[in-house]
């Protein structure tokens, strides 16, 4: 018997050595030989469970660990590993119970405190998670992993500066914690330090080359840098390493759309939409908009995203403010040289100062530009707070007793949903920036019109719908168009060509709409397609796609960027017809074209984002340019291109209407949206819940 025990111990020692050397298969075989000699050998059962977990077989690992724990119920190491496996399987409550059990056995267990903090964070119990990080750090102030986890909790809470300080402390104590470097990258990205963020992700990958979260973070920064091909490669790597990594699948697909890589597009979209239907966190809400998704799909996607976000105590707690004027705060990162800034400047200037007090909460960088100065002067208060935390901004808005807070970002880049999640105002509104539901109870209303959100779509909005008459789209009738029009030769356009144009971003272009465009080029002699300047990869890809459809690559012409918006508007005069995209319409770009006098042909889609151009065309008196199918869209565009008299009549009608129709009547629009705000405010003052309503035409 003594000989048998000695042999078992020798085998166990060999197994442990092989395991530590990374020879997993050899270690597994040796552990199993140990169990053949002693079925109750704790360490062999425990380590076989660890091996199963290393292979991703968490259920099998849990079974092995539980067998080991029947032998030694109070083994802290085995309990720690059991908790980790349960957490990986998504069984956070069970994992938390295991870690709590460890802390009853050993209140000073650093691993238990740290691991419990991770689980509590996953359960969005951020206050408790922070307490356990702090407990670990009180016991061991130089515990680098706890500093990193504390940074993660602060990051979730939107306290990015504090999070970065904790990550810095972690890597100063222990430089090779890849997770802490990823955390640094995440925080630096939010603080707009993109180069520094990229370096942080690269440092994480130098430590752990197959760390999917680091690849994903790297891809996100590269996307913000507009380096879309590199972003795609990084996101592809993340998705290959961890197909279930939250939001990796949708982000990868979005990068493909940016560079017009349409390979396997139908299959990938179908797979993504199936996963969204199963309520999996696969796609960020904004990235759904260019896909052939339904309003129901977009609601499911947004709700899944919101469910994973932390919750906060409301800053506004039911107070009724007795103001003489309604205080409206517009919250945006885009109150600057940005499409939102150009669209809304006139609205802000036309607000009735006797009835409304307006506040700008500017989350973006300050600029020394005429538009920024104009926007700054349009408000009663213009608050610049790009580096303040969500909590600080929400607290400040509450101190200002804001009646209505309007989110002009939504889920677009630079948005700060965390401000609205803290409920700084009695009424909170989703408007303009994000053309879909926020999927969150923190938003009371979405401002729309009968075209973009028909009544049968109300059920797909978490918000109540406030219909404006005419169009929901703000526009500025004081926008300047440069007097001088560049010649076609200066724009690299043929003098005698028919110029189709579309200045939408590349991710809005898809094979179905591009097929239509190429058929039009084939049918209209001496025609070209004038597009905005994309990166070299997207431009090359579109020219290849044109050639595949029998169209010479040189018939696609890319407009170089001009610094002044007034010059961009002026060059529209050299276009004959604007061709809209589907599933994600032209929004600001349609407004630009119509203001510059260029007719727009649009196809009404099934979602808010796909119906915006239709809304604008009806509001400018050109409903006849809204097609209900791509076949009708193509036929209409062909008729305009080949019938000079019809084309001239459309341009004449647009020239007459643009100064008289509602779309570009900024004063009228201001009165309409003020009527919507007044209805919202009155309901709130009476303690009534939000309801769908329509503003009557003025």
Domains defined for the chain, CATH in brackets? 2-217 (1.25.40.10), 326-467 (3.40.50.11380), 498-664 (3.40.50.2000)
Q: How far is CA 227 from CA 199, 222, 533, 538, 558, in A?
A: 15, 5, 14, 11, 18
Structure tokens belonging to residue 309: 């976000």
The CA distance from 474 to 451, in Å, is 15
- For residue 3, what pLDDT band results from cuts at 50, 70 and 90? very low
Structure tokens belonging to residue 427: 């009424």
Give me the pLDDT at residue 434, please: 98
The CA distance from 618 to 663, in Å, is 9
Q: pTM (2 decimals)?
A: 0.93
Could you report the per-residue pLDDT of 572-626, keeping only the tens digit for each?
999 999 999 999 999 999 999 999 999 999 999 999 999 999 999 999 999 999 9
Could you report the per-residue pLDDT of 540-573, keeping only the tens digit for each?
999 999 999 999 999 999 999 999 999 999 999 9
How many residues make up the chain in this entry? 698
Helices 630-642 and 511-523, packing angle to 10 deg: 30
The CA distance from 36 to 161, in Å, is 55
Q: Is the pLDDT of residue 259 over 70?
A: yes
Return the exposure string of 23-34: e unless at least 16 CB atoms fall within 10 Å of the residue's CB, then b: eeeebbebbebb
The CA distance from 180 to 460, in Å, is 39
- Note whether 124 and 312 are within 8 A (CB): no
DSSP string over 186-228: HHHHHTT-HHHHHHHHHHHHHH-TT-HHHHHHHHHHHHHTT-H
- For residue 1, what pLDDT band results from cuts at 50, 70 and 90? very low
CB-count exposure of residue 217 (10 Å: 0-12, 13-18, 19+): buried
- For residue 5, what pLDDT band results from cuts at 50, 70 and 90? low
What pairs with residue 601 in β-bridges?
579
Average pLDDT value for the chain:
96
- Note whether 98 and 83 are within 8 A (CB): yes
């Amino acid at each position: 018997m003594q000989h048998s025990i000695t042999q078992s111990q020798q085998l166990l020692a060999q197994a442990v050595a092989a395991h530590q050397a990374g020879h997993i298969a050899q270690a597994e075989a040796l552990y199993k030989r140990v169990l053949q000699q002693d079925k109750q050998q704790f360490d062999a059962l425990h380590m076989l469970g660890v091996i199963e977990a290393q292979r991703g077989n968490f259920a099998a690992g849990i079974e092995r660990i539980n067998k080991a724990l029947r032998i030694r119920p109070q083994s802290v190491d085995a309990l720690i590993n059991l908790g980790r496996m349960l957490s990986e399987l998504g069984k956070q409550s069970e994992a938390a119970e295991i870690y709590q059990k460890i802390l009853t056995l050993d209140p000073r267990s650093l691993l238990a405190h740290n691991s419990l903090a991770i689980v509590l964070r996953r359960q969005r119990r951020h206050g408790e998670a922070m307490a356990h990080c702090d407990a670990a750090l009180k016991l061991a102030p130089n515990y680098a992993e706890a500093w990193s986890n504390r940074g993660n909790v602060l990051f979730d809470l939107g306290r990015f500066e504090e999070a970065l300080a904790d990550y810095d402390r972690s890597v100063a104590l222990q430089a090779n914690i890849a997770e802490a470097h990823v955390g640094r990258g995440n925080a630096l990205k939010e603080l707009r330090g993109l180069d520094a963020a990229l370096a942080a992700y690269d440092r994480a990958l130098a430590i752990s080359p197959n760390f999917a979260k680091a690849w994903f973070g790297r891809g996100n920064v590269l996307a913000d840098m507009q380096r879309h091909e590199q972003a795609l490669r990084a996101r592809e790597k993340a998705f290959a390493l961890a197909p279930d990594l939250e939001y990796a699948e949708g982000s990868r697909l979005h990068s493909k759309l940016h560079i017009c890589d349409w390979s396997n597009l139908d299959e990938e979209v179908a797979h993504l939409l199936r996963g969204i239907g199963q309520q999996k966190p696969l796609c960020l809400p904004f990235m759904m908009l260019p896909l052939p998704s339904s309003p129901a799909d977009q609601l499911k996607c947004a709700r899944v995203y919101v469910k994973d976000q932390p919750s906060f105590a409301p800053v506004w707690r039911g107070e009724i403010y007795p103001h003489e004027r309604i205080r409206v705060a517009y919250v945006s990162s885009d109150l600057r040289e940005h499409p939102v800034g150009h669209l809304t400047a006139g609205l802000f200037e036309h607000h009735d100062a006797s009835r409304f007090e307006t506040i700008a909460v500017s989350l973006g960088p300050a600029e020394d530009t005429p538009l920024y100065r104009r926007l700054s002067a349009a408000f009663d208060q213009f608050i610049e707070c790009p580096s303040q935390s969500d909590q600080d901004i929400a607290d400040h808005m509450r101190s200002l007793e804001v009646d209505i807070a309007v989110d002009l970002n939504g889920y677009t880049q630079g948005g700060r949903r965390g401000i609205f999640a803290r409920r700084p105002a009695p009424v909170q509104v989703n408007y303009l920036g994000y053309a879909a539901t926020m999927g969150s109870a923190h938003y009371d209303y979405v401002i729309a019109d009968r075209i973009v959100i028909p009544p049968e779509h109300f059920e797909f909005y978490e918000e109540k719908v406030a219909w404006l008459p005419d169009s929901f789209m703000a526009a500025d009738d004081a926008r300047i168009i440069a007097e001088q029009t560049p010649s076609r030769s200066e724009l690299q356009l043929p003098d005698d060509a028919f110029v189709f144009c579309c200045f939408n971003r590349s991710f809005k272009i898809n094979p179905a709409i591009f097929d239509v465009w190429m058929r039009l080029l084939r049918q209209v002699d001496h025609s070209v397609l004038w597009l905005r300047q994309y990166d070299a990869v997207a431009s090359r890809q579109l020219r290849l796609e044109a050639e595949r459809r029998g169209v010479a690559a040189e018939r696609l012409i890319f407009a170089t960027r001009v610094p002044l918006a007034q010059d961009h508007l002026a060059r529209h005069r050299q276009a004959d017809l604007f061709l809209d995209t589907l599933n994600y319409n032209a929004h600001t770009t349609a407004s630009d074209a119509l203001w510059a006098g260029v007719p727009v042909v649009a196809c009404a889609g099934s979602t808010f984002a796909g119906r915006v151009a239709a809304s604008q065309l009806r509001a400018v008196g050109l409903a006849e340019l809204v097609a209900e199918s791509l076949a009708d869209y193509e036929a209409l565009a062909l008729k305009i291109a080949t019938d000079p008299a019809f084309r001239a009549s459309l341009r004449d009608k647009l020239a007459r209407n643009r100064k008289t129709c509602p779309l570009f009547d900024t004063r009228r629009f201001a009165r309409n949206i003020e009527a919507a705000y007044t209805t919202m405010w009155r309901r709130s003052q009476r303690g009534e819940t939000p309801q769908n309503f329509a503003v009557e035409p003025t």
